[in-house]
Structure 1
Amino acid sequence: MADTLSRLGLGTSPLGNLYAEVTDHEARAVIDAAWEAGVRIFDTAPHYGLGLAEKRLGAALKDRPRDEFLLSTKVGRLLVPDPSGVGRLDDDGFVVPATTRRVWDFSADGVRRSLESSLDRLGLDRVDVVYLHDPDDHWEQAAGEALPALVELREQGVVGAIGAGMNQWQMLARFVRESEVDAVDVVLLAGRYTLLEQPALAELLPLCAERGVDVLAAGLFNSGLLARQDVPDDATYDYRTAPADVVARARRIAAVCARHGTTLPAAALWFPFGHPAVTGALIGARSTAELHANLAAFAEPPPPGLWADLRDEGLLEAEVPTP
């Protein structure tokens, strides 16, 4: 994962109609705009819109040179037909018909079936990275069956790198620590290493650095809280309304950013790259306007003095590495 924009990837959960409908045309425009800007990392999952994000991403990339982009998807949730869902919408946050449902399955057979279905939706014969997706309540099967199945698929050349993607750091650390050497290539860490909070710093990131495991940071805005310079009262944090003290902390960070001529979103996007284990980061966008705003925020790194002032004000601990 190279410098500048090539270090940023496009996450596609918004393009699977997360919380609000996005048209096919709008989704295609976002992916095309990302490509034109130089983004070459794309992340998706069956979970995102019950396969809709995979279909949209595959359609947008089908005429792009395959060796010029890196695409990741995930396994762990099989999509199965659900006739009982006719006439209602998905109840897992995506504005899509509920005629398909998710079934947790981290068995070896489930991994192979899930990946085969993803390749069909994407219109591809291989993917570059496959993550175990949110195995929080499925450690035994994910570690004992799914991960070995992915290792086998990697050896066969069906997938490139393999790992796990989660909203917690503890189980990711367990995958890295307890798996066979070189079994895990990369982890996707959402929300737990951000400008707001860094609970993954003490154990997961040093462990990944020691083992040569790449870290892809996601959820850099903590689900919206850090996405705007002016933090609203109803800002979201971890997909819920942010507590007042968390909003206050974000506003204090934003004020320091303003003093240094930068913005809260810019600092949030640059922050994780201060750690040597972090090799890339994902941003999401449901419109070209959102995409361009994020790319513009990443166009120039914040001044070094910003990080020192954040430490002085108790908003960053002394041991936290910064860009």
Structure 2
Amino acid sequence: MSDENATATVDRAWAEGIRYFDTAPHYGLGLSERRLGAALASRPRDEFTVSTKVGRILEPDPAGAGRRDDAGFDVPAAYRRRWDFSRDGVLRSITESLARLGLDRIDLVYVHDPDQHFATALDEALPTLVELREQGVVGAVGVGMNQCPMLAEFVRAAELDAVMLAGRYTLLDQSGLDELLPLCEERGVPVLAAGVFNGGILATPEPGEMYDYRPATAELSARAARIAAACARHGVELPQAALALPAAHPAVAGVVAGAHRPEQVSANVRRARRPVPPALWAELIETGLLRAGTPIRERVP
């Protein structure tokens, strides 16, 4: 997308009342942070919350400038990512994120995808972020992952201000209910539910073709189609239900939904504010399309 479209998308989010914006160095090799910072530069600093992430250091790669990034972002591969959850890596990452965002503090920082780096993340990254929190450079500290078991281990082992759970509490995957969400509710750790469209399959009234960055299996596609048909019978759009399900859980403080144009922001807001009939949830549970015991208390923002 163009810089102009990125700014217009953030402007629309602001106009719709959204004040929490999530980014990361990983997203677009720093482009997401730069564009978000530029779009928010004229806004009163105390009126918005920004979260970013640590764990991937961006190192210049002049030889890659003529190629496109191979990690899912349509940008020049002018940088390479290097995993680094060490103290020095976190300090460097925060310094560089502050520069890209044009901010003097970051409201919330997640340790990002530490799946293969649990010990270093626990022993170095999180304590370093806590120090920065005490210094006022960081407002809050969390961990963000697309799996539940290790995220639960972090909740048990560290004093976290929040966690971001991506793709594991959705209409197609309620594994967050096994352990993580009850644990966060018990300990008072707010959950930000991301990836609620599972990469696209739940983002449109008719199910899409992608699930978690890969083509959906026939089984998942059929399940999504059955859920979409149930939604239609109750006058609900599939993405409306996809936003409403995580929002109803008492541990979930917010739902994070991406958008690549202003109209998508408005569509997400409209859907999030539209109540879902309890009869839909009852049908999904009765037909085995939703787990029994799934919290379905309506919470409309």
1:14-57, Cα deviation, whole Å (9 max, x unpaired): xxxxxxxx100110110000000000010000001110000000
The separation in 2 between residues aligned to 1:102 and 1:125, in whole angstroms, is: 24
Match of 1:267, SS?
helix
1:183-206, Cα deviation, whole Å (9 max, x unpaired): 211000000001221101021011
Matched, 1:72 2:46: no
Query: Aligned match of 2:134 in 155, 172, 178?
Result: 155
TM-score (norm 2): 0.97
Q: Which amino acid aligns with 2:143?
A: A
Deviation at 1:101, TM superposition (A): 1.0
2:54–2:85 contact (8 Å) kept in structure 1: yes
1:203-253, Cα deviation, whole Å (9 max, x unpaired): 101111111111000001110111111125xx1111111011111111111
- Poorly superposed stretches of 4+, deviation over 2 Å: none
Matches within 5 A, 1:158-237: 158-179=137-158, 183-232=159-208, 235-237=209-211
Query: 2:65 maps to which residue?
Result: 86
Query: 2:292 maps to which residue?
Result: 318
Query: 2:103 maps to which residue?
Result: 124
Gaps of 5+ in 1: 1-21
Deviation at 1:321, TM superposition (A): 0.9
Greater shift in the superposed pair: 121-130 or 89-98: 89-98
Query: 1:105 maps to which residue?
Result: 84
Deviation at 1:96, TM superposition (A): 1.3
Query: 1:290 maps to which residue?
Result: 264
Query: 1:11 maps to which residue?
Result: none
Q: Which amino acid aligns with 2:224?
A: A
Query: Aligned match of 1:277 in 251, 255, 259?
Result: 251
Deviation at 1:317, TM superposition (A): 2.0
Query: Aligned match of 2:114 in 135, 138, 141?
Result: 135
Query: 1:29 maps to which residue?
Result: 8
Percent identity over the alignment?
A: 62
Match of 1:163, SS?
strand
Deviation at 1:155, TM superposition (A): 1.1
The separation in 2 between residues aligned to 1:93 and 1:260, in whole angstroms, is: 36
Deviation at 1:299, TM superposition (A): 2.3
Match of 1:284, SS?
coil
Match of 1:98, SS?
coil
Match of 1:290, SS?
helix
Match of 1:27, SS?
helix
Match of 1:149, SS?
helix
Alignment size in residue pairs: 297
Query: 2:242 maps to which residue?
Result: 268
Query: 2:277 maps to which residue?
Result: 303
The separation in 1 between residues aligned to 2:203 and 2:89, in whole angstroms, is: 36
The separation in 2 between residues aligned to 1:312 and 1:93, in whole angstroms, is: 38
Q: Which amino acid aligns with 1:129?
A: L
The separation in 1 between residues aligned to 2:233 and 2:283, in whole angstroms, is: 10
Q: RMSD of aligned C-alpha atoms?
A: 1.0
Match of 1:229, SS?
coil
Structure with more relative contact order (C-alpha pairs < 8 Å, separation 6 or more): 1
Match of 1:247, SS?
helix
The separation in 2 between residues aligned to 1:231 and 1:318, in whole angstroms, is: 23
2:285–2:291 contact (8 Å) kept in structure 1: yes
Query: 2:220 maps to which residue?
Result: 246
Match of 1:80, SS?
strand
Query: 1:55 maps to which residue?
Result: 34
Gaps of 5+ in 2: none
